[in-house]
Chain A
Amino acid sequence: MFDFPQADVKTRLLNAILIPLTRLPGFRKKMFSNMKYHMIERFGPVLRDAKSS
């Protein structure tokens, strides 16, 4: 909770790769027009693996 955001190396890497790609109009359009789907994509594996408690 008290970690600095710089410590999140995975996010920094993703930002470093994806943000330059959004300068390409085609990629940008695809990325932003589907943003609400991208926002929930990452929960897929957690939900798939969840077992009843």
Chain B
Amino acid sequence: MNADDENSMKCVILNGSPKGDVSVTMQYIAYIRKKFPEHTYEILNVAHEIKTIEKDTAAWNRILEIIRSADLVLWAFPLYYLLVCAQYKRFIELVFERNAQDAFTGTYAAGLSTSIHFFDQTAHAYIHAVSDDLGMNYLGFYSAEMGDLLKEEERTRLEKFTRFLITAVEDTIPVQREIPPLVRSSLVYAPGLPGKPVSFGTKKVVILTDDDGSSPSLAAMTDRLTRTISGSAELINLHDVNIRGGCLGCCQCGYDNTCVYTDGYIEFFKTRLVPADIIILAGLVHDRYLSSAWKQFFDRSFFKGHTPGLEGKQLGFAIAGPLSQIACLKEALVAWADNGGCHAQLVTDEVPDSAKLDALLDTLTLRLVRDAEAGYIPPRTFYAVGSHKIFRDSIYGGMRMAFQADYRYYQEHGCSISRRLT
């Protein structure tokens, strides 16, 4: 045990809420602390402080020292768009970019989230995989519904889980790595001569990428797509869009979809993405997801609340990296599209040679334009049907006050419970 008292465990909590201490998730931590006061707890607000952590080496080193002193690291976070928030994602990226894995290796880890259970499983699968990649001893996760702490039965459940964690650390139980390391393809994509350009007619195409020059394959894939499209495809790099930061989780947008940020995101979303018929999202796999820049893009679309922002669009995902080995990422992308009433098609660079990738990318553009012309959106699956019922119940009940814009939208679009009752 690392804590001073021999029987006391030191638990370091990596707080993944952009709200810092004023966080629902941290109320669950506060409860655990009250119930098990014999242990020591240190909370690191890594999501809230991400800008400082990125710039200030001393702050970064302090965090690593504290993590090194832990018996248990608790990844405590709110769900943000089927994962953790962009700021937390950035923290995880920094750990790998700065080769700080050793601060985590060998330490026990667990996940604790609060959410409305919309894709909590993908977020926990992500944290599990990251923990395994860091060489931690991952013990499991606890996924609370935001209001669970108000229910005695759920508080008892949380205590049982905490007791399991404490006992596991005290007994130094052996843990098996469940998620195999990623094997990256050795292909460096070199596109051949462009095929016959595909005419998109009057359809408006946007290719959105986060290319930062670090992946020749991603740049080449984007280039191939741009060349295949005859006519005007607008190529937008997320790094060129004026986005000042990640979603703050303040929920002020809930009343009328007005975000507290006054940067360029909303205008970009409304004037460049909404008018498009086809959006191709091109990205590189970073750890077990795309980049935090992509995550920031998804999180900031929360100004639309729980209503579809890009409904009816054809979405093409062009992914550089081992997507087929990251089930939670593929699920998150497909479910995001399904939930938003879009049609998603994916291509990755996990192919034997460049000629195959040329053919796949050319076919992707062809299929996107055909489906856009036909207006084909596939029937919704469990992802969207199930999610819409969660949203409908929440917006009718406990979340109606905070998300009045959603409530009005649901009434206008015939998906509100009260409309059917009246």
Contacts and interface: CB of A to CB of B under 8 A. Distances in A.
A22 B251 CA distance: 15
Contacts of A15: 397, 400-401
B254 A32 contact: yes
Nearest to B37: A52
Contact-residue bracket for chain A = 20 to 34
A40 B251 contact: no
B34 A36 contact: no
B34 A51 contact: yes
A24 interface: no
Contacts of B396: 5-6
B401 A43 contact: no
Contact-residue bracket for chain B = 35 or more
Interface residues of A, dominant DSSP? helix
A50 B150 CA distance: 11
B250 A36 contact: yes
Contact of B27 (A8, A43, A52, A53): A43
B19 A43 contact: no
A36 B31 contact: no
Given A5-B417, A47-B34, A35 B254 contact: yes
A46 B400 contact: no
B417 A40 contact: no
Contacts of A40: 22-24, 27
A15 B393 CA distance: 14
A43 B37 contact: no
A1 to B, nearest CB: 10
Contacts of B34: 47, 50-52
B255 A6 contact: no
B227 to A, nearest CB: 47
A53 B35 contact: yes
Interface of B: 19, 22-24, 27, 30-31, 34-38, 146-147, 149-150, 155, 159, 249-252, 254-255, 393-394, 396-398, 400-402, 404, 417, 421
Smallest CB-CB A-B distances: 6 pairs:
A5-B397, A50-B34, A43-B27, A35-B251, A5-B393, A5-B396
Interface of A: 4-6, 8, 11-12, 14-15, 18-19, 22, 28, 31-33, 35-40, 42-43, 46-47, 50-53
